[in-house]
Structure 1
Amino acid sequence: MKTGTLKQILLITDGCSNQGEDPIAMAALAKEQGITVNVIGVMEHDVIDEQGMNEIEGIAMSGGGVSQVVYAQQLSQTVQMVTRKAMTQTLQGVVNKELQQILGGEKTMEDLPPEQRGEVMEVVDELGETVELEVLVLVDTSASMKHKLPTVKEALLDLSLSLNARSGDNRFSVFVFPGKKKDVEKLLDWTPKLESLTSIFSKLTTGGITPTGPAIREALTYFKKKRSLRSLLSRDDDESFFEESV
């Protein structure tokens, strides 16, 4: 089975967008481009209101990803769980497409006899450990996130450690919204590890609007730039990408 790079946007926020494009529509566009959008809603002592909950769930659903709302102290394990769950979900979708080509019709893993289904899941698990992964993290830095940012930093460091235990290559990039001078600002370019976040996060300022839609749009643009540059520089024309997230 030919696999390529698994691409995810990980959105960490604590409320509703209030500026720019509809984030749910932007997430749907991401899915069309083969990028899964996962969303983690972070609570402290407060709660996320119904509108915020609907938006978090809607973004993940449109983006073919996973959503979870957690208290700040549970963030680290949740970030890892959501990222890996979304990987498995996407890989199962890829495997199901292969099965449909082989078996015809609308057959999926669930239609296989238990023994064969187990063998296919072993393939999915193995792919989850070996596939290349790119995660672009979008961190909400609006005023209400101020006291949660240290926890976000620790969660991202733990995510980096966890994913780098796999044999597959990982690349991370981090953007914040709102930025100092514009809606979205790049904090960290593509890197295999996130240790440098320790010094960068302490300098972050919070406040202002919550432009979630523009943040997702910027993430898509950034993925596209990376892809264009890779095709320009790479001599390997065979590199493939997952074209669809499930």
Structure 2
Amino acid sequence: MVKKAIKSLQVGGKEMRTGTLKQILLITDGCSNQGEDPASIARIIAEQGITVNVIGILEETQTEESQGLNEVEEIASNGQGVSQIVYKQALSQTVQAVTKQAMNETLQGVVNKELQQILGNTRSMDELPPEQRGEVMEVVDELGETCDLEVLVLVDTSASMTNKLPTVQEALIDLSISMNARIGRSRFSIYQFPGRRKPIHQLVDWTSKLESISSIFAKISTGGVTPTGPALKEAMHQFGKKSLKRRLFHNEYTDVEEA
């Protein structure tokens, strides 16, 4: 009964199987030093149904308590996402793991809310009998494979990230391969910050594959301040612009058909 009911889960007003999970993946190595507080912006983004995940990259001489990396956990916590601090050698596996973990935690959160409605009390998935809990986790795993996923990758390209960008590039190519092995549709976009005249600059528009990323990363120039808060705010707006473009294209196409 529980498993059957859970399969009708909805997210964003749509059945989960046809809904889309949205994530921002922030890759950075230091503390923001310009603009709004990034943790506060992350909370606003989470309220829009977009999870904010953060990966902090350490230098060989740094420790996890280094100044600036404490901000990583705070941003992810406010953004209802996952945070991880790693040395650059482990970045590739970490990017994949963080993206998948955030997806599963989002799905489990939706499942818990649905369970409370189904069972008519405050019971959560952890309080179910083992057999029913196992059934629910099967559904979560299945949804993780079949739901659509959109990930906007936000890469810190301030001066201190110069020697880390080749590793970031490799990690994102690996992420593309692993996410496209899913049944559900996966789409990516990549932005750097700071931009030339704006907080962020688009490197890759929404796409399902990242084959062209090598040539794009070769042209990136690093330097400048680290406006993490303004960059996150602009990243949030890119999801809305994508939907707006689709609507405009659809309306334009419809007008042509009618004409």
- Does TM, normalized by the shorter one, top 0.5? yes
- 1:21 maps onto 2:15 in alignment: no
Q: Which residue of 1 aligns with 2:120?
A: 104
Instruction: Determine which structure has more spread, i.e. the larger CA radius of gyration.
Output: 2
Q: Which residue of 2 aligns with 1:10?
A: 25
Q: Find the aligned partners of 1:183 and 1:31 in 2 and give their Cα distance.
A: 20
Q: What's the offset of the Cα at 1:9?
A: 0.2
Q: Secondary structure at the match of 1:42?
A: strand
Q: Which residue of 2 aligns with 1:119?
A: 135
Trace 1:67-82 onto structure 2 (pairs within 5 A).
67-82=83-98
Q: What's the offset of the Cα at 1:225?
A: 1.3
Q: What's the offset of the Cα at 1:110?
A: 0.5
- 1:33 maps onto 2:33 in alignment: no
The residue type paired with residue 118 of structure 2 is: I
Trace 1:133-212 onto structure 2 (pairs within 5 A).
133-212=149-228
Identify if the C-alpha distance between structure 1 residues 232 and 108 changes in structure 2 by more than 3 Å, giving closer, same or farther: farther
The residue type paired with residue 27 of structure 1 is: A
Cα deviation, 1:190-235, whole Å, max 9, x if unaligned, reads 0001111111000101011001101100111111112333455569
Spell out structure 1 runs of 4+ moving beyond 6 A: none
Percent identical across equivalent pairs? 66
Q: Which residue of 1 aligns with 2:102?
A: 86
Task: Give structure 2 stretches of 5+ with no counterpart.
Answer: 1-7, 9-14, 252-259
Q: Secondary structure at the match of 2:118?
A: helix
Count of paired positions? 235
Q: Which residue of 2 aligns with 1:55?
A: 71
Q: Find the aligned partners of 2:248 and 2:47 in 1 and give their Cα distance.
A: 23
Q: Find the aligned partners of 2:27 and 2:111 in 1 and give their Cα distance.
A: 29
Q: What's the offset of the Cα at 1:181?
A: 3.0
Identify if the C-alpha distance between structure 1 residues 126 and 23 changes in structure 2 by more than 3 Å, giving closer, same or farther: same
The one of the two structures with greater contact order (alpha-carbon pairs below 8 A, sep at least 6) is 1
Cα deviation, 1:143-186, whole Å, max 9, x if unaligned, reads 00000000000000000000101011011000000123332111
Task: Give structure 1 stretches of 5+ with no counterpart.
Answer: 236-246
The residue type paired with residue 51 of structure 2 is: T
Q: Find the aligned partners of 1:63 and 1:163 in 2 and give their Cα distance.
A: 22
Q: Secondary structure at the match of 1:137?
A: strand
